Amino acid sequence: MRRSTESAHDAAAAWDIATPSRPGLLPGVSMAGFSARTTEFFDLSVIPYPAVTVAISLGDEPFTVDDSNGRQRNGSVVVGLVPSGVRGRGRDIECLQVRLSPVVAHQVLGVSSELGGRVVSLHDLWCRDAARIEEQLRAAGSWDDRFAIAEAALVRRHEAGRAIEPEVAFVWRQMVTSLGGVRVERLAAEVGWSRKRLWSRFRTQIGLHPKRAAQLVRFDHAAHRLATGHSAARVAAEIGYVDQSHLHRDVMAFAGVTPTAVAVAPWLTVDDVAWAAPEYLSSECPRKT
């Protein structure tokens, strides 16, 4: 298990971060453990990411997530794709965070389109399983034990779940590898579907329509480039935006803040530690730098 060291970013230095010591069994799944180093109150704006996020609360203090409509969820939650306006709040936080490719999430969680932009309680999706897993995780002696417990639960549900259609999975992989730069019409032709059919099936099984999903993948790459210090003009030019204004509009649409604000967002300052070698959304599709 690897832990974080002191960072130049105050936000990153506020956390102890644990990551699995071995590769996972399920492609498209990555995990990290977070323990607050201080008892100060955290209020973090969530930056959208092209994965479904499961946050399992393990601390003694209540952990609250607010969605874009002001509704609150306490404890363990599932955050769907494009959760604009979502905030996580709490004190002395300890949690296990799991990022699931939408291809895997469809099979593990049993829902896709219902999660689009929403925050739901893990207990609402997994019922008694959620309480049982939380109890096992709290009783575990180490983060590696916790990762093993969580992985075993995900594998069980994956084996019992309904797989996504291979055409939809193929289209998603193409979006990831092209950083959102491939046309939907071309993808529909490649899988032998009409544009209308692809639009409908993709929306139902991934949770977003194809164009929006491609935009999300591109936004994620842009956000991480901005966070590493690249200028908005350079990012826009390098990853396929028409111009800097186009990048600005996209960032505002997904994150609700300007590219300058995204570049220093506390939510992104821990990514190099927590997700240093992520299964970005599938082991076949690593993040490009």
CATH topology assigned to domain 2-160: Jelly Rolls (2.60.120)
The pLDDT of residue 143:
96
Query: Residue 89 belongs to what H/E stretch?
Result: strand 87-91
The pLDDT of residue 24:
87
pTM confidence score: 0.87
User: Where do the domains of the chain lie?
Assistant: 2-160, 166-274
Neighbour count for residue 11 (Cβ, 10 Å)? 16
The pLDDT of residue 80:
86
Mean pLDDT by 10 residues, the chain (289 residues): 40 82 89 88 88 92 81 89 81 92 89 73 90 96 96 94 93 92 92 95 91 93 92 93 94 92 87 63 42
The pLDDT of residue 240:
86
The pLDDT of residue 86:
86
The pLDDT of residue 114:
65
Positive or negative: CA dihedral 246, 252, 254, 259:
positive
Rounded Cα distance between 194 and 167, Å, is 12
Q: Which two tokens stand for residue 167?
A: 């055409």
Map tokens 């790459």 to a residue.
221
Q: Where are the extended beta strands (E) located within the chain? A: 2-3, 15-19, 29-36, 41-45, 52-57, 63-66, 72-74, 77-79, 87-91, 94-100, 119-121
- CB-based contact 35:15 (threshold 8 Å): yes
The pLDDT of residue 276:
60
CATH topology assigned to domain 166-274: Arc Repressor Mutant, subunit A (1.10.10)
Q: Which two tokens stand for residue 154?
A: 């995900």
The pLDDT of residue 194:
95
